[in-house]
Amino acid sequence: MDKMRLDKWLWAARFYKTRSLASQEIVKGRVLVNDAPAKPARDVTPGDLISIRKENPPVQVRVLGLSAVRGPAPVARQLYEETAESIAAREHASEMRRLAPEPAQAIASGRPTKRDRRRMDSMRGK
């Protein structure tokens, strides 16, 4: 086998749980092959570069092999190789999320109590 349908390869490589989910994501434009939009029936061959926008930042993988069956995860991992740029972008995004301030810390003491609300109303003159 020297080429395979894109939706079937994404399913076999365990990027999506079903072929229909893979097809839907391809049709929505979330999967690019060699930086070009693709259709589910597009043939992929070893060496193709696939960009998958499943999370932020997108994952870019190079096709290493083809498989007609969906096997266990360690076998599926051998079908592709993530590019160095993609790994670096994921690590950078992870680091930025880790360093970002916690949104809940902006609220110092939580919601005002009934007593606090009464005091605020009295200061406003209500």
**How many domains does the chain fold into?**
1
Looking at the whole model, is its pTM more than 0.85?
A: no
CATH classification of the domain holding 71: 3.10.290.10
Picking from 18, 12, 93, 91, the residue whose alpha carbon sits closest to that of residue 50 is 12
Domain with 27, as residue range(s), is: 4-99
Residue 72 within a domain = yes
* CB 50, CB 15: distance < 8 Å: no
Residue 40 within a domain = yes
Examine residue 57 and say whether the peptide bond preceding it is cis (omega within 30 degrees of 0). yes
Q: What is the pLDDT of residues 91-102, one digit of tens each?
A: 999 999 888 887
Picking from 66, 61, 31, 60, the residue whose alpha carbon sits closest to that of residue 46 is 66
Q: What is the pLDDT of residues 66-106, one digit of tens each?
A: 998 999 999 999 999 999 999 999 999 999 988 888 776 76
The per-residue pLDDT for 39 is: 95
Q: What is the pLDDT of residues 23-59, one digit of tens each?
A: 999 999 999 999 999 999 999 999 999 999 998 899 9
Residue 65 within a domain = yes
CA distances (Å), origin 67, targets 10, 13, 37? 10, 8, 22
